[in-house]
Amino acid sequence: MHICVIGCGYVGLVTGVCFAEMGNRVTCVDSNAERIGLLSEGISPIFEPGIEALLRSNITGGRLSVSSALADAVQGADVVFIAVGTPSEPDGAADTSQIMAVAQALSVHLSLPTLIVCKSTAPVGTACRVQSILDQNPGGLQHRVVSNPEFLKEGDALNDFMRPDRIIVGTEDSEARRVMHQLYTPFVRNHDRIMFMSRRAAEMTKYAANAFLATKISFMNEMAAFCDEFAVDVEQVRKGIGADQRIGHHFIYAGCGYGGSCFPKDLRALLHMAESCDTRLPILEAVETRNQEQKAWLFRSLQQSLGQDLRGLTVAIWGLAFKPGTDDIRDAPSRVLIDSLLAAGVRIQAFDPIAADNIARCYGAPVANGQLQLGEDPYAVLRNADALVLVTEWKQFRQPDFALMRTLMRRPLLLDGRNQYDPQVVERAGFAYKGVGRSISRTQLAPLRRAG
Ligand SMILES: NC(=O)c1ccc[n+]([C@@H]2O[C@H](COP(=O)([O-])OP(=O)(O)OC[C@H]3O[C@@H](n4cnc5c(N)ncnc54)[C@H](O)[C@@H]3O)[C@@H](O)[C@H]2O)c1
């Protein structure tokens, strides 16, 4: 099939590359000329393990091309995917203006009846709105619009796309159903995991899935705070409940809050959708509130350990991306911590294997007038630090040289925002350790506090 994918971000690029890999002819379109420039040289503008190799082999194989000219790129396409952003508006609503702008452009430029697939996460009713825009095309063409939300995880996106748990397709049109089935069959060869439903149900399914996963995380973070009250290690509780197959081990890790480009904005969008129909979602309101509190936990814990006034201290941060395996820093817990530390007059020395450039762009260079230093080596950023905060659990942080760390740091405080470490191992190395929902011995903290 000839496929056109509009939007070359985390979702659009993976979609385009994977369809090309299955032998389709794909054109990826983006309005960002810089992105298209990089892509045309076989360079991925986003970090995603394995994507660049697939991008290059499919360009070389003649199955994948990139373009910034939507009008030309959509000519002759059998299927057009819309994979543009749906960021939060200030009131939390999903901003669907990028989708609607693409729909307008398609209604003008498509010269044959075409299947349009909404892949962006968008509120219930969005695909119907796109259909209405396309129905007003000047040539009176009968385009079909379906909803096909994406469930990939950044960091493992190619695997998720190639071997999906399920493919949700919202359409009640038999021809659209036939084409979507044909398109996705190569990805579900061992058993059919394509689920057809109404467009509105498909849109709601995406939000419900993210809301449920976010709920699991916030639930565990709430339990972690509760465990602290009773001097219980939440890690033991996690393993204990995860063994129950009805609960399972996924998404029950206590930590410093969820971030990224999906959960926070999708939760906000759901809450806004509820408000707009005069209803409430009290469970999800609590999930959101807990997550905000959780992101503030790192800074609060530093204050509890080192004193209220942190001015003049140096804090090292390991990990800036919202999770390992990506360079995405949208809504990342690291940013909440950095903002609080900068405001408190703390000097920051941070390291991330991939996301440091995005943080540098976000805070400006030289980063925050030198108050935020981005290092290229995890140990170098520990020099003279008064605390180390682990924010993103990249694999390379799992088994560090604690003895070396101890010699580099001014004060031996390790705040483990992802419960990565065994407290006993860390304490034996001479550190005071604090994890999420894991109580810390007060005797060890006492000498860390500044006089007064
Ligand atoms: N990132 C994820 O992990 C993920 C997972 C599932 C679903 N989603 C959803 O998929 C959608 C896309 O997310 P993303 O993370 O890929 O976004 P992104 O911001 O990384 O990429 C969006 C791209 O669309 C381009 N674009 C915007 N308007 C355009 C236009 N008119 N013409 C051509 N290109 C245009 C932008 O330049 C950008 O490159 C969102 O709705 C998101 O919620 C994201």
What pLDDT, on a 0 to 100 scale, did the predictor assign at position 193? 95
CA 177 – CA 137 distance, rounded (Å): 23
Give the active site residues.
Answer: 262
Q: What does each C-alpha distance from 223 to 103, 122, 151 come to in angstroms?
A: 45, 31, 27
Assigned token pair, 242: 């995860």
| More reliable by pLDDT, 191 or 211 | 211
- Give distance in angstroms: CA of 393 to centre of ligand 1: 25
What pLDDT, on a 0 to 100 scale, did the predictor assign at position 451? 44
Q: Above 70 in pLDDT, residue 75?
A: yes
* C-beta 117 within 6 A of ligand 1: no
Which band of pLDDT confidence, cut at 50, 70 and 90, is reported for residue 439? Answer: confident
Report the 3 state secondary structure along 387-452.
Answer: EEEECCCCHHHCCCCHHHHHHHCCCCEEEECCCCCCHHHHHHCCCEEEECCECCCHHHHHHHCCCC
Q: Above 50 in pLDDT, residue 253?
A: yes
Which band of pLDDT confidence, cut at 50, 70 and 90, is reported for residue 440? Answer: low
- Give distance in angstroms: CA of 102 to centre of ligand 1: 12
Q: Above 90 in pLDDT, residue 442?
A: no
Q: From the CB of residue 310, how many other CB atoms can be counted at a distance below 10 Å?
A: 23
Report the 3 state secondary structure along the chain.
Answer: CEEEEECCCHHHHHHHHHHHHCCCEEEEECCCHHHHHHHHCCCCCCCCCCHHHHHHHHHHCCCEEEECCHHHHCCCCCEEEECCCCCECCCCCECCHHHHHHHHHHHHHCCCCCEEEECCCCCCCHHHHHHHHHHCCCCCCCCEEEECCCCCCCCCHHHHHHCCCCEEEECCCHHHHHHHHHHHHHHHCCCCCEEEECHHHHHHHHHHHHHHHHHHHHHHHHHHHHHHHCCCCHHHHHHHHHCCCCCCCCCCCCCCCCCCCCHHHHHHHHHHHHHHCCCCCHHHHHHHHHHHHHHHHHHHHHHHHHCCCCCCCEEEEECCCCCCCCCCCCCCHHHHHHHHHHHCCCEEEEECCCCHHHHHHHHCCCHHHHCEEECCCCCHHHCCCCEEEECCCCHHHCCCCHHHHHHHCCCCEEEECCCCCCHHHHHHCCCEEEECCECCCHHHHHHHCCCC
What pLDDT, on a 0 to 100 scale, did the predictor assign at position 449? 58
CA 87 – CA 358 distance, rounded (Å): 18
Task: Kindly state the average pLDDT of the residues 409-431.
Answer: 97
- Give distance in angstroms: CA of 14 to centre of ligand 1: 11
CA nearest 316: which of 383, 388, 415, 246?
Answer: 388
* C-beta 305 within 6 A of ligand 1: no
Which band of pLDDT confidence, cut at 50, 70 and 90, is reported for residue 368? Answer: low
- Per the DSSP assignment, residues forming a β-bridge with 144 are 115
* C-beta 418 within 6 A of ligand 1: no
Q: Above 70 in pLDDT, residue 421?
A: yes
Residue 86 CA, closest ligand 1 atom number: 41
- Burial class of 219 by CB neighbour count within 10 A (0 to 12, 13 to 18, 19+): middle
Kindly state the percentage of the chain with pLDDT values over 70.
96
pLDDT in tens, 157-167: 999 999 999 99
pLDDT, the chain, mean:
95
* C-beta 121 within 6 A of ligand 1: yes
* C-beta 35 within 6 A of ligand 1: yes
Task: Kindly state the average pLDDT of the residues 106-123.
Answer: 98
What pLDDT, on a 0 to 100 scale, did the predictor assign at position 367? 72
- Give distance in angstroms: CA of 12 to centre of ligand 1: 7
CA 302 – CA 307 distance, rounded (Å): 8
CA 293 – CA 387 distance, rounded (Å): 21
* C-beta 7 within 6 A of ligand 1: yes
CA nearest 137: which of 118, 113, 101?
Answer: 113
Q: Above 60 in pLDDT, residue 194?
A: yes
Residue 10 CA, closest ligand 1 atom number: 16
Assigned token pair, 338: 């950095």
Task: Kindly state the average pLDDT of the residues 148-163.
Answer: 97
* C-beta 21 within 6 A of ligand 1: no
Residue nearest (by alpha carbon) to ligand 1 atom 34: 30
- Give distance in angstroms: CA of 81 to centre of ligand 1: 11
Q: Above 90 in pLDDT, residue 448?
A: no
What pLDDT, on a 0 to 100 scale, did the predictor assign at position 100? 98
Task: Kindly state the average pLDDT of the residues 401-413.
Answer: 97
pLDDT in tens, 213-239: 999 999 999 999 999 999 999 999 999
* C-beta 269 within 6 A of ligand 1: no
CA 151 – CA 160 distance, rounded (Å): 8
Q: At what angle do helices 126-135 and 199-229 cross, to 10 degrees?
A: 150
Report the 3 state secondary structure along 416-432.
Answer: ECCCCCCHHHHHHCCCE
Torsion sign (Cα): 214, 215, 221, 224: negative
Kindly state the percentage of the chain with pLDDT values over 90.
94
Which band of pLDDT confidence, cut at 50, 70 and 90, is reported for residue 369? Answer: confident
Contacts of 54 (CB under 8 A, 6+ apart): 17, 18, 20, 21, 158
| More reliable by pLDDT, 379 or 448 | 379
Q: Above 50 in pLDDT, residue 48?
A: yes
What pLDDT, on a 0 to 100 scale, did the predictor assign at position 38? 98
Question: Among 6, 28, 30, 326, which residue has the most ligand 1 atoms within 8 Å of its CB, making it the best to mutate?
Answer: 30
Which band of pLDDT confidence, cut at 50, 70 and 90, is reported for residue 443? Answer: very low
Residue 121 CA, closest ligand 1 atom number: 41
- Give distance in angstroms: CA of 7 to centre of ligand 1: 6
* C-beta 98 within 6 A of ligand 1: yes
pLDDT in tens, 241-251: 999 999 999 99
- Give distance in angstroms: CA of 265 to centre of ligand 1: 13
| More reliable by pLDDT, 446 or 103 | 103
Which band of pLDDT confidence, cut at 50, 70 and 90, is reported for residue 366? Answer: low
Assigned token pair, 48: 């995603």
* C-beta 152 within 6 A of ligand 1: yes
- Give distance in angstroms: CA of 345 to centre of ligand 1: 35
Is the pTM for the entire model greater than 0.85?
yes
Task: Kindly state the average pLDDT of the residues 346-364.
Answer: 96
Residue nearest (by alpha carbon) to ligand 1 atom 43: 121
CA 110 – CA 116 distance, rounded (Å): 11
Q: Above 60 in pLDDT, residue 300?
A: yes
Question: Among 108, 121, 168, 261, which residue has the most ligand 1 atoms within 8 Å of its CB, making it the best to mutate?
Answer: 261
What pLDDT, on a 0 to 100 scale, did the predictor assign at position 280? 97
Residue nearest (by alpha carbon) to ligand 1 atom 30: 31
